[in-house]
Amino acid sequence: MANLQSVPKAAESAETHDVAPARTVPVWQWVLGAVLVVALGSWLVWLSAYVQRMFIEEDIHAACQRVMPDTVQRCVDTVIIQRGGARR
């Protein structure tokens, strides 16, 4: 059997408070969090619009390549203009 010793309990400090300290979050942390959320959200919206636009342009380019291989760029420009988006 192992040798065990009892450790005497140290005397506690004079006063102990049973009330937990109130944690208040400063206003600047809320503002910073809101700014970060807005920035991240707007960047994600921009990124998704950009990726979608790139996929659509690739699809148009592939379709024009199949239909009009001699004038691909003219076909692409015409289709984009007809859809209402100016690329350049």
Write out pLDDT tens, residues 53-75. Answer: 999 999 999 999 999 889 999 99
The answer to whether residues 52 and 45 touch, using CB atoms and an 8 Å cutoff, is: no
- Whether residue 19 lies inside any domain: the answer is no
Q: Return averaged pLDDT per consecutive 10 residues of the chain, 88 residues in all.
A: 78 63 80 95 96 92 92 91 72
Q: How many CB atoms lie within 10 A of CB 60?
A: 19
Q: Would you state the pLDDT for residue 18?
A: 66
Token reading at 86: 């100016």
Q: Is the pTM of this model over 0.95?
A: no
- Whether residue 34 lies inside any domain: the answer is yes
Number of domain units in the chain = 1
Q: Would you state the pLDDT for residue 55?
A: 94
- Whether residue 11 lies inside any domain: the answer is no
- Whether residue 49 lies inside any domain: the answer is yes
- Whether residue 16 lies inside any domain: the answer is no
- Whether residue 13 lies inside any domain: the answer is no
Range of the domain at 58: 27-83
Please state the φ and ψ torsions of residue 10, each to the nearest 5 degrees. Answer: -75, 150
- Whether residue 88 lies inside any domain: the answer is no
Q: Would you state the pLDDT for residue 31?
A: 93
Counting Cα atoms < 13 Å in the Cβ hemisphere of 13 gives 3
